[in-house]
């Protein structure tokens, strides 16, 4: 006796039963994706070790400014691990992740994990080396995005004539007051540039002008992430106070979040707390 049935993932097929048992105790048809698709998206034989590995990988991926903002706004971070834990192993999983102060919910699609700010701080303490490596990787990626394009140009007239790499932007924005200067010939402009190059005091100023404020703030934020002493923290805050941070720059660089995080890190140093609060107050006015 044969009956047309569907398996648990929706694949049609023919199920053969012994004589006299057709239709008895047969599983009810469940519609869904194919069996191969279900196996790829959900580990039905999920283990505690695999769930812990995916949890650590996910928390390390939250070492970004965007996730920091989301955590401060919502009070927690949430993800669904594509692993289904059996009833007999759920207590073992809870004991394994108890050190991170997480909340676990078991659903049909996987294991839902809620991570609070306290749990994230506990994770940073237990996995300090891996966390620092993840933050350095994010900072390196941000620096590569902010780095100015390398343009090949010729040296000035007093050089040997060999080409060199110039990291300055390929164009310069002219202020409205510089409009009449646009009528200068190319030779006059080159002569003025050569005259400025002879002055040693103007070199740092021209170099700072060629780097955008976003890149300078990104460089300072990388130093803050690797900062380990209060003295260095005060000097970095003083360096930030020299930057003209507008609301657009504050939104694009998230430097305000970095300063607030530094204020919490050095909460026992009143000078750093006062300096950080002053910067945030000035930028948000």
Higher pLDDT, 214 or 122: 122
Higher pLDDT, 285 or 200: 285
Q: Of 142, 204, 196, 209, which is closest to residue 169 (Cα–Cα)?
A: 209
In sequence order, the 6+-apart residues with CB closer than 8 A to the CB of 54 are 81, 82, 83
pLDDT in tens, 177-214: 444 444 444 444 555 544 444 444 444 444 444 468 88
pTM of the complete model:
0.37
Cα separation, 219 vs 208, in Å, equals 13
Q: Please state the length of the chain.
A: 285
pLDDT in tens, 265-279: 888 888 888 888 888
Average pLDDT of the chain? 69
Q: Domains of the chain, with CATH numbers?
A: 2-38 (no CATH), 48-126 (no CATH), 213-283 (1.20.930.10)
Q: Which two tokens stand for residue 157?
A: 């007239």
**What's the whole-number mean pLDDT along residues 121-134?**
89
Helix axes 117-126, 128-146, angle to 10 degrees: 100
């Amino acid at each position: 006796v044969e009956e047309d049935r569907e398996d648990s993932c929706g694949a049609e097929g023919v199920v053969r039963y012994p004589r006299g048992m057709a239709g008895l105790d047969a599983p009810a048809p469940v519609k869904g994706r194919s069996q191969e698709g279900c196996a790829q998206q959900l580990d039905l034989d999920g283990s505690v070790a695999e769930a812990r590995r995916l949890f650590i990988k996910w928390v390390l991926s939250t070492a970004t400014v965007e996730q920091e903002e989301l955590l401060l706004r919502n009070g927690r971070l949430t993800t669904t691990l594509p692993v289904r834990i059996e009833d007999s192993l759920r207590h073992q999983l809870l004991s394994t992740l108890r050190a991170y102060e997480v909340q676990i919910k078991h659903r049909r699609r996987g294991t839902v994990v809620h991570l609070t700010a306290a749990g994230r701080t506990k994770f940073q303490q237990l996995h300090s080396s891996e966390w620092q490596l993840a933050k350095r990787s994010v900072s390196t990626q941000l620096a590569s995005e902010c780095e100015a394009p390398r343009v090949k140009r010729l040296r000035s007239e007093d050089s040997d004539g060999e080409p060199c790499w110039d990291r300055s932007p390929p164009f310069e924005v002219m202020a409205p007051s510089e409009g009449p200067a646009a009528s200068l010939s190319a030779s006059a402009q080159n002569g003025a540039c050569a005259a400025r190059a002879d002055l040693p005091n103007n070199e740092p100023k021209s170099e700072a002008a060629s780097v955008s404020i976003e890149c300078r703030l990104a460089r300072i934020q990388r130093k803050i992430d690797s900062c380990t002493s209060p003295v260095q923290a005060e000097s970095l805050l003083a360096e930030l106070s020299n930057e003209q941070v507008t609301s657009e720059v504050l939104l694009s660089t998230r430097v305000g979040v970095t300063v607030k995080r530094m204020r919490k890190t050095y909460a026992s140093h009143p000078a750093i707390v006062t300096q950080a609060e002053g910067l945030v107050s000035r930028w948000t006015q």
